[in-house]
Structure 1
């Protein structure tokens, strides 16, 4: 049998006929592939509403932050109602809907009968500390805007499929779509559920963006609950609250409103309590709380604060990220924090309120980014009168005598506010353990302070931010400065795991130590420069020679490795 060549006309004709028949069969199958129980086709409904083939106009898309999906839902309701109302339709098609834009949904609905009309999909989102709202997660709005027919597909975020929250606008007139989105943005700001709330942002597990928002009740802390050196709280209040209270007068005089405030000092001295007081006192302000790795969202927080001003952005424990870098930008997180403050407009009524336990690690960044923080206030360890005031505050009506309170305040040298609060509770606990909780008195108070200031409670003191009589372990001196037992600034450490037990330099252990460490400090030399010297007991003399301390080897050198 003779096989005709590939370019012969009979073969071409047969192939063309086959392809035409196959195409007709595919179209016929598509027309009858929708089950009888599925919804009505989408295309005729859109055509009737828009007055044109919905496959011809271009769509205009507005991406919505996952923090503001509720704002978008509220804004849509407000704008559509203001223009006479409309109707909502759902779109079927299962998960495939998330992978297609509105334009693609319309095209496939016309060609293959996909994406029929179905129920509107809703999800519940928080809009306050104890309030929720049911928002459209996937649904189509049909309405008229200034007399022009408009269709808007509202979809929530679905990070599992890489889908961001969006509004997709379909209308024959592109200018109508742009005008509609302008009104939506304005309504999102004026009717925002975040405005005047206290919120934290959460990170997304799928990427560097924010994952959502958590609402908190505004704290109720009175000025009388805070014990600080005289005039300290007033200085902070004037800068954080006073500038906002006199914003109009300052603006008329050409003065900037944005401000950065740094509260620094040892742990447990009242920085967080002061922040809580300010947040509660600024009852009309939008407050955004960031800490730890959520500090990477500081740019988003600054943008949100500017939009919803007056606002306060609280950045707690900035020292914890002083050396960290944003994993997505490789930029130092602390610099991003300071740059976000610098990026605000001068007339933005926004306060950046930073707290830190280690101002020394912030100083280099603050020096390289001058002008970001315009008020730095130390929150020091309380002195004896302040400790007495704290004791009176936390003891309330408990029957401790004035003499016992004075004695305990003197005995609790180096104590913090957190320490004093725990001290009162422990006194009550001692009475309860003795079976006489109603008879708590001076004996229990004295026993509690003796117990908490003992060597056995050294770690407890450290966790409460307090130091013992000798300033150790890891505490601060009474003036609030580092006592040297904490983290060193510059130095080195050597350790041989199998050579023996390890002890802090300067402490004699029962076995030879296999560690050697140093803390470098810089002191002026005779020529006006500086030289590095080692702390006593570190194992080396300041001149670099060997020492005879507990870490010295048999020949006076360091412990053998």
Structure 2
């Protein structure tokens, strides 16, 4: 009589094999799912070939370029089928990301970049664009933290795609036509070039009416800047260069800085790049930016700080940078250099006395009697001068700069307020101006006169200001 196997008898070998098959299936499914969740399949589908058979061009990225490249890629994406940007997480190079089949489920990271003084936009930190631009082979662009990578079927296709992206970036450049300052952003990159950032600068608008100069001086100034801008096409057709260097020099406070502000706003088609103070050490980067954004106006305030005569200059690095950049731009560059100084005799002669670097020097004189009269009219806004003897005051301010006259009016208004004057417009007296002059000249001494601009004749004492002989 045969034995019946128990109902709960288990063939462990069979079960083990089944479990192994299930696990293998799950692993295989996971591999398949993981593969299709990566970037490689979508890139290969977009290109129509394995990505390894394509060509990659890498362009190192300076941080100030990021916003323009982002705007260019977004414009090309919208002109294609507007496929979503793929977040690339911590990946900064396209080829290793494809080789690792990086996940395309990472969130798209953004940072914020200014596009003007008052506006900003979000910009991709590391993202992948699948682009099908009319006239170009399908290509992939990766904007990362350090570079722009372009992958296309062939090297020629990749180069054409890169050229198109850069052309779009130039067309949408947020810095063109703006007033800018260059600042160092960090240490040198892989190519040895220091990175820098661009800051929009709020330059107050100055109208022509605010400029108090002899008419012939202002005409020379306008001809050498605004005239070059206005007639640039005519000059180019005649074979004349438009790169130009102008040096403004004269005592402190005579209006050199004010005129540069006026010219910057009078040339809206020009990108204005300001160098003053600590920005002076970035003269090379500023000139490179001017070359990219031309037509450009490069304003270098107090150029003597970096361009002293080499016999008196212990470090000529910045001087040579400036001269090399001015020479390197060439005569056809649409760039005007506007330099200012209070100490023209201390400048390196190879800079200040060589045509092709500085082509025109303009001397800003201390105001004559007519200009001082115009200054008085300009500074009387909000003031009542009916009780002031203007004639003697005009005589006593001979040799005073516009900055000195402005401070004189402010000081007189302060003294009127201290004595209890409350009228509107504020009523000033001759005594207010007498006290203001005495305080500026006697208590301020030579330092105040130098800072505000006042001709200090060695043998004139205080008599020139109407205070009688020096004791």
Task: Name the TM-score, length of structure 1 as normaliser.
Answer: 0.69
* Structure 1 residue 134 displacement after superposition: 1.2
The reply on whether 1:139 has 2:124 as its aligned counterpart is no
Structural mapping, 1:318-333, within 5 Å: 318-323=303-308, 332-333=317-318
Partner of 1:248: 233
Q: Distance in 2 between matches of 1:402 and 1:322?
A: 49
Structural mapping, 1:228-239, within 5 Å: 228-239=213-224
| Preserved CA contact (<8 Å) 1:202 1:210 | no
* Structure 1 residue 143 displacement after superposition: 2.2
The one of 206, 214, 217 aligned to 2:187:
206
Q: Distance in 2 between matches of 1:151 and 1:225?
A: 54
Structure (1 or 2) with the greater helix fraction: 2
- CA distance 1:433–1:368, change in 2 (3 Å): closer
Q: Distance in 2 between matches of 1:198 and 1:471?
A: 45
The reply on whether 1:151 has 2:132 as its aligned counterpart is no
- CA distance 1:247–1:92, change in 2 (3 Å): closer
User: Higher mean Cα deviation, 77-86 or 425-434?
Assistant: 77-86
Partner of 1:440: 427
The one of 447, 451, 459 aligned to 1:463:
451
Partner of 1:12: none
* Structure 1 residue 85 displacement after superposition: 3.1
Q: Distance in 1 between matches of 2:330 and 2:77?
A: 33
Q: Distance in 1 between matches of 2:156 and 2:444?
A: 75
Which ranges of structure 2 fall in alignment gaps of 5 or more residues? 1-26, 466-471
CA displacement 1:237-281 (0-9 Å, x = unmatched):
011011211122212221111111000112211100010011111
- CA distance 1:218–1:33, change in 2 (3 Å): farther
The reply on whether 1:194 has 2:186 as its aligned counterpart is no
The one of 388, 395, 407 aligned to 1:410:
395
| Preserved CA contact (<8 Å) 2:388 2:428 | no
* Structure 1 residue 226 displacement after superposition: 1.1
The one of 351, 354, 371 aligned to 1:386:
371
| Preserved CA contact (<8 Å) 2:55 2:158 | no
| Preserved CA contact (<8 Å) 1:64 1:167 | yes
Q: What secondary structure sits across from 2:98 in the alignment?
A: helix
Task: Name the TM-score, length of structure 2 as normaliser.
Answer: 0.81
- CA distance 1:379–1:80, change in 2 (3 Å): same
- CA distance 1:75–1:219, change in 2 (3 Å): same
Q: What secondary structure sits across from 2:258 in the alignment?
A: helix
RMSD (Å), alpha carbons: 3.2
CA displacement 1:366-425 (0-9 Å, x = unmatched):
267543111100112223433332222112352214863332332234322111111111
Q: Distance in 2 between matches of 1:224 and 1:406?
A: 23
The reply on whether 1:357 has 2:354 as its aligned counterpart is no
| Preserved CA contact (<8 Å) 2:408 2:437 | yes
- CA distance 1:472–1:351, change in 2 (3 Å): farther
Structural mapping, 1:216-227, within 5 Å: 216-227=201-212
Q: Distance in 2 between matches of 1:234 and 1:456?
A: 35
Q: What secondary structure sits across from 2:180 in the alignment?
A: strand
Q: Distance in 1 between matches of 2:368 and 2:177?
A: 37
* Structure 1 residue 33 displacement after superposition: 12
The reply on whether 1:128 has 2:120 as its aligned counterpart is no
- CA distance 1:471–1:213, change in 2 (3 Å): farther
- CA distance 1:115–1:369, change in 2 (3 Å): farther
| Preserved CA contact (<8 Å) 2:254 2:402 | yes
Partner of 2:160: 179
Partner of 1:483: none
The one of 442, 447, 460 aligned to 1:454:
442
User: Higher mean Cα deviation, 435-444 or 307-316?
Assistant: 435-444
Q: What secondary structure sits across from 1:206 in the alignment?
A: strand
